[in-house]
């Protein structure tokens, strides 16, 4: 993503790697979209329209998470655990299992939002922060 963001590739493709900055932007947009949707839509419409909105948000979240996990050298399948924890604890955690899910989310925040990606190319592609030399 050398200087520009391809929004379609960012939200609809799970291949490649994603640097920390674009990841944080995309994750913030997805969480904000979910929060705004829940704030605007009433309980009746929530049950009708949620079947269309949430699968789209989850798919986009899986793509963004997979790319960032690839940048850290991890399999994109770890995104499933993170999304399950997020859905279980949303909008606020209650109970013991939600506490465990929050620990998973804390790990994800540190792993994906704080730590840098792997230096150089890895099995998922070249480093997104270093320009490709032709």
The answer to whether the beta carbons of residues 11 and 62 sit under 8 Å apart is no
Instruction: Give me the chain's average pLDDT, please.
Output: 88
Instruction: Kindly list the distances between the CA atom of residue 133 and the CA atoms of 78, 92, 111, 126, in Å, as whole numbers in the listed order.
Output: 31, 46, 28, 11
Give the pLDDT confidence score for residue 61 in this predicted structure: 95
* pLDDT tens track for 101-130: 989 999 999 999 999 888 888 999 888 887
The more confidently predicted of residues 97 and 24 is: 24
The pLDDT score that the predictor gives to residue 50 is 85
Residue 51 has pLDDT above 60, yes or no: yes
Radius of gyration of the chain, Cα coordinates, nearest whole angstrom: 16
Reported pTM = 0.85
**Would you state the pLDDT for residue 93?**
75
- pLDDT > 90: what percent of the chain? 56
Q: Where are the domains of the chain?
A: 7-114
* List of residues 6+ apart from 38 with CB closer than 8 A: 46, 91
How many of the other CB atoms lie within 10 Å of CB of 61?
Answer: 22
Does the pLDDT value for residue 1 go beyond 80?
no
């Amino acid at each position: 993503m050398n200087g520009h963001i391809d929004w379609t590739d960012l939200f609809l493709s799970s291949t490649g790697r994603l640097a920390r900055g674009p990841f944080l932007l995309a994750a913030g947009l997805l969480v904000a979209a979910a929060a705004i949707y829940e704030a605007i839509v009433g309980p009746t419409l929530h049950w009708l329209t949620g079947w269309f909105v949430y699968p789209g948000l989850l798919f986009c979240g899986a793509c963004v998470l997979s790319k960032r996990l690839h940048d850290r050298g991890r399999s994109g399948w770890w995104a499933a655990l993170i999304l399950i924890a997020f859905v279980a604890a949303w909008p606020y955690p209650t109970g013991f299992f939600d506490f465990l899910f929050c620990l998973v989310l804390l790990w994800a925040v540190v792993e994906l939002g704080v730590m840098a990606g792997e230096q150089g190319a890895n099995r998922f592609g070249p480093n997104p922060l270093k320009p490709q030399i032709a």
